[in-house]
Structure 1
């Protein structure tokens, strides 16, 4: 998951695909992206089963890129990103549209619940531990991803992309959620280059996701608001990249004492959300 989604251009291309882009020109006009980078990301996403390449014209050859069950099941993560940006990032120009729940026809924000008990859940009552296939070393991809260059305003979720669109950044944020706070802990546990850790921590502090005090980096309320993004990304990864020996991470909901699986509900009507029921307002 980090290898695929820990890349800003990949996230932006998937975002456009889930918003309806299918042809090369759609992606090219919707993103400030070079032909070489777009071609590379489309090829990778097709090879990984996130997009399906379908030829619609033979002379001259033309193809479209369609979403698959694997990419469509990313909707909880992208909806969570959308909600977080609307709540915490006020400088979008133009402003991000609100989300409408078509089942109740109300503007809404998604709420995380525990599927086992149906009650609201947050990072304060969800406990994580490594499962049979989980370690920090195994969870960090060896491939190096490059930060997206160009306008910081590209895409619908520019601040989320600057926070999560990097494999080390995503891992550091997860580590912060499970209790890491010192620079040396992030660096040694993740076996990350010190420069990469320093760069990511400075971005988190600048964006108000972490606050630095007493030689520690702690999550702010804005940072804790990313819980829904992290947990939905984790569930997507464990669904589509299952290890033979078992899950990488095991979650428990302390409020009910059972295994935790996240669900999203509408904060207006309380109904369970479906991707097909989420629209721009």
Structure 2
């Protein structure tokens, strides 16, 4: 009998959909009403209705009545939904800096506490030092394994009809990672040191065709590069690390397993269990979701 999906698999099933991320982003910017989501995102009624229902069922949004006769509802982020802001801030920074094929330049993020545009820095909650993948030791926890980290169903891709309007496609390369279960697994495996095709195949158990396809996509997209018959993370690939870590931390907070966490992280420089904290690269202060805003978009 197969074991239940762990926190990583639950996270991939929820976040591996671009419209879900975009709706959560707008909700963090205080959008709550159906018509406002339509106006801001250019999303179709059918797609928005489906995503709002799914996000409400998942516990990311709460549907509340704000008008009687006729009944009208608004969708307010729950604590679980609000806790996504570090993931979205990390995605925004990576796409803004590293992905050139946006229809228009993504606006900067402004930290209202210091009133300047900023980039989020991944730091250790224990020692406050900036952290890269080189300073973290990762291992499977009691509920961890690749078979248990795969979503029950393949994460959903937008159809062509969904992609023709509005801001769909805002996170194109992020979705090539979060929107495919083998992509996410492959990238994590690259971060923990795998470089050869056989290493990826052995650790992941992925079908050879799927693995070849993902490696080609990552190489073409500049996330990996081939050197001496091995696949190495590029600077762009390493820069995706905060997205992986904040998504993992969100998942393990909101989808706890009675057996224990799926992944254990230790900061090797201070020796403590690692808890990610995003800080402002301008004022060095810790960031809060309420203090982060888009800046420079032509609305």
Q: TM-score, normalised to structure 1's length? A: 0.91
8 A contact 1:7–1:146 mirrored in 2: yes
Q: CA deviation at 1:207?
A: 1.5
Is 1:10 aligned to residue 20 of structure 2? yes
Q: Determine whether 1:108 maps to 2:118.
A: yes
Q: How does 1:19-34 map to 2 (within 5 A)?
A: 19-31=29-41, 33-34=43-44
Q: Please provide the CA RMSD for this pair.
A: 2.1
Following superposition, the deviation at residue 137 of structure 1 comes to 0.9
- Identify unmatched segments of 5+ residues in structure 2: 1-10
- Are 2:137 and 1:127 aligned? yes
Question: Which residue, 88, 97, 103 being the options, matches 1:87?
Answer: 97
Report the count of equivalent residues.
281
How many angstroms apart in 1 are the aligned matches of 2:19 and 2:96?
21
SS in 2 for 1:107: strand
Bigger mean CA offset, 3-12 vs 66-75: 3-12
Partner of 1:143: 153
- How far residue 46 of structure 1 moved from its aligned partner, in angstroms, is 0.6
Q: Does the CA-based 8 Å contact 2:108-2:294 persist in structure 1?
A: yes
- In 1, distance between residues paired with 2:33 and 2:238? 37
Deviation per residue, 1:180-234 (Å, 9 max, x gap) = 2233433443333333333322222222111133443221000000111111111
Greater Cα offset, 28-37 or 78-87? 28-37
Select 1:97's aligned residue among 107, 112, 135: 107
Deviation at 1:69, TM superposition (A): 0.6
Rounded Cα–Cα distance in structure 2 between residues aligned with 1:37 and 1:128: 37
Q: CA, structure 1 residues 202+38, in 2 after alignment: closer, same or farther (shift >3 Å)? A: farther
Once the 2 structures are TM-superposed, how far is the Cα of residue 66 of structure 1 from its aligned partner? Answer: 1.1
Which deviates further from its counterpart, 145-154 or 239-248?
A: 145-154
Unmatched runs of 5 consecutive residues or more in structure 1: none
Corresponding residue for residue 209 of structure 1 = 223
1:191 and 2:205 are equivalent in the alignment: yes
Q: Which runs of 4+ in 1 moved over 6 A?
A: none
* Structure-2 residue corresponding to 1:267: 281
How far is the alpha carbon of 1:239 from its aligned partner?
0.5
